[in-house]
Amino acid sequence: MTNRAKIEFLYKEDGIRDAVFLSELLHDDFILDWDSSQGNLIMTKADIVNLAKELKQNYVDSFMEISHFIESDNTIVVRYNHKVTTIENPKEFVLIAKFVVIWEFEGDKIKKGYQISKPN
């Protein structure tokens, strides 16, 4: 699977909530530098895998509405809206946040990520 295909799976096939897929995709020394509404967060591979498990538990379904997908060498940039359905309302997708993320690959694994998010 190409790096582009991995990122497409991450967003288009709900890989963001798949702890096994993320464990395989992320480098052991992975770091995500995330500017969020809670301030700047530095997250490791273990943090992201745990976040995937939380997303899986808290939402019935998850959908990424991608507006931009740019690939250059070992870097992929994605701009997307993250929509989810809740247990209370499983038929209506609700926008939870808007994201821009830059993924840097080392070989076939993501080594670094830089992400900015804005809650809805």
Domain that holds residue 98: 3-119
Q: How many domains does the chain have?
A: 1
Task: Provide the CATH number for the domain around residue 17.
Answer: 3.10.450.50
Contact between 95 and 83 (Cβ < 8 Å): yes
The tens digit of pLDDT for each residue in 42-54 reads 999 999 999 999 9
Q: Smallest Cα–Cα separation from 5: which of 103, 117, 114?
A: 103
CA distances from 114 to 4, 38, 88, 117 (A): 17, 15, 32, 10
pLDDT in tens, 95-118: 999 999 999 999 999 999 999 999
What percent of the chain shows pLDDT beyond 90?
Answer: 95
What does the pLDDT look like over 4-28, one tens digit per residue? 999 999 999 999 999 999 999 999 9
The reported pLDDT for the residue numbered 120 is: 82
